[in-house]
Structure 1
Amino acid sequence: MLLEVKDLRVNYGHIEAIRGISFEVPEGSVTALIGANGAGKTTTLKTLSGLRPVRSGTVVFDGADITNLAPYERVKRGIGQSPEGRGCFVGMTVRENLDMGAYVRNDKAAIAEDLERAFTLFPRLKEREKQVVGSMSGGEQQMVAIGRALMARPRLLLLDEPSMGLAPKLIQQIFSIVKEINDQGTTVLIVEQNAAQALKLAHHAHVLETGEIVRSGGGQELAGDPAVKAAYLGGDV
């Protein structure tokens, strides 16, 4: 098992945002966390990245306890994240943003290979390599954010709301690329409000409500669950 989360609890001040969740991410899989705004999805990913402190519980990555490891150490171990809202360096070029993704690495030949991989996955970034990211569309910035995360050569890629604010055509494109990334061997944990797309892509999925996991199963299994349909897919119970 690549990632194991056990009885994780996270607070914002006195408010318990994550209430004892446990789940696993098998190596090679796409695992989805779905839920409404405020369910705790982004907090979960921030905690896995080391950006939020853990009140209790453990995070185990590739057999090692990383619960209290610094964020940059987690990147070194193979956890990369494309954050909610993209988090691009808007005053820098596409190439400079991608180079920032490789900041913990010094294997120049492999970095060059990964840069070409990013440009192959996102040809538009190659076309706009020298363009300042702040002048690009939301969809293009999302491509930069995912490409930058891949530049760390992660074993586990954390994607936080990659479809947020994008036109339907671009959403399809982003999800196709996420599938391609997974097909190439990168394990993916995706947090997504677009439950239909996330469940279609995911091998495993978990539903978060107010900081608790209330349902778990295969992606197709949850997509067919009447309660999940009613709450997140626009269906009827």
Structure 2
Amino acid sequence: MLLEVEGLCVNYGHIEAIRDISFAVPEGTVTTLIGANGAGKTTTLKTISGLRKIRAGSVRFDGKDINDIPPYERVKLGIGQSPEGRRCFVGMTVRENLEMGAFTRNDRKSAAYREDVDRVLGLFPRLAERIDQVSGTMSGGEQQMLAIGRALMSRPRLLLLDEPSMGLAPKLIQQIFNIITEINEQGTTVLLVEQNAAQALKRSHDAHVLETGEIKRSGTGAELAVDPAVKAAYLGGDL
């Protein structure tokens, strides 16, 4: 198992954001967390990447307890994240943003580094067209592509994606999800947080429903897509 979250509890001050959640992400899969705003999805990803302190429980990556490992060391271990809201370096070009994604690497003059840049530009041809453009002048969809591409530059074994379709036009949403599937098929394990449950469940091997900081339902993506309660709450009644 690549990622194991066990009995995880996280607080914001005196408020319990996550209460005793446990789930696992098998290597090579796409696993999705769905739920309403405030359910604890983003907090879960931030805790896995080391940006939130754990009150109780554990996070294990490739069998190793990483509770006390700082965020930049988790990137070195193979955990990359594309955050909610994209968070591109708006004063930097596309090329410079990709370089920032590789900040833990010391092989920037190597063939492997150039291959990774080519991989990102192959996944996102629009970025190749904009390679020297300042990212703050690009559209929301282009910035989302850049945020994912930047995360891939650390060569993650596990890619955390937080709301990659947020604020995008329907055509771009479809494109982003197709690329997420392609990234997974190329060998990267994905943990996806997404409010577009219909698109996410179609592409997920496993999925979990978070409600007020607790996991209420778990199953395969296909199982949850036809679960009456999930359909009523998150899928508008039908896929």
TM-score by length of 1: 0.99
Q: Who is 2:79 aligned against? A: 79
Q: What's the counterpart of residue 8 of structure 2?
A: 8
What SS does structure 1 have at the residue aligned with 2:142? helix
User: Do residues 111 (structure 1) and 101 (structure 2) align?
Assistant: no
Correspondent of 1:153 among 152, 155, 160: 155
Q: How many residues align?
A: 236
Uncovered stretches (5+) of structure 2, i.e. residues with no partner: none
Residue type of the alignment partner of 1:169: K
Question: How far apart, CA to CA, are the structure 2 residues paired with 1:175 and 1:201?
Answer: 8
The corresponding residue for 2:164 is 162
Shift of 1:171: 0.1
Q: Which amino acid aligns with 2:19?
A: R
Q: Classify the secondary structure of the residue corresponding to 1:189.
A: strand
Aligned to 1:53: 53
Q: Could you give the per-residue CA deviations for residues 195-235 of structure 1, whole angstroms, max 9, x where no partner exists?
A: 00110010000000000000000001000000000000001
Question: Does 2:101 match 1:92?
Answer: no
What is the CA-CA distance between 1:45 and the residue it aligns to?
0.2
Deviation at 1:109, TM superposition (A): 2.3
Describe the SS at the equivalent of 1:163.
coil
Matches within 5 A, 1:1-237: 1-107=1-107, 108-235=110-237
Q: CA deviation at 1:68?
A: 1.6
Cα distance, 1:42 vs structure 2: 0.2
Letter of the structure 2 residue corresponding to residue 136 of structure 1: M
Cα displacement (A) at 1:144: 0.3
Deviation at 1:111, TM superposition (A): 1.3
Identity in percent = 79
Q: 1:174 is paired with a residue of what secondary structure?
A: helix
Q: Which amino acid counterpart does residue 230 of structure 2 have in structure 1?
A: V
- Partners of 1:76 and 1:157 in 2: how far apart? 13
Q: CA deviation at 1:106?
A: 1.2
Q: Alignment RMSD, CA only?
A: 0.7
Counterpart-to-counterpart distance in 1, 2:68 and 2:219: 29
SS in 1 for 2:112: helix
Q: Secondary structure at the match of 1:112?
A: helix
Amino acid of the structure 1 residue aligned with 2:2: L
CA distance in 1, matches of 2:113, 2:93: 17
- Give 3-state SS (helix, strand or coil) of 1:38's partner: coil
- Other structure's SS at 1:111 match: helix
The ranges of structure 1 where at least 4 consecutive aligned residues each deviate by more than 3 angstroms after the TM superposition are: none
> AA paired with 1:24?
A
Rounded to whole Å, the distance in 2 between the matches of 1:112 and 1:104 is: 15
Distance apart, 1:96 and its partner CA: 0.2
Task: Report the AA paired with residue 25 of structure 2.
Answer: V
Q: Supply the distance in 2 between the matched residues of 1:174 and 1:143 (Cα, whole angstroms).
A: 8
CA–CA distance in structure 2, aligned partners of residues 4 and 57 of structure 1: 11
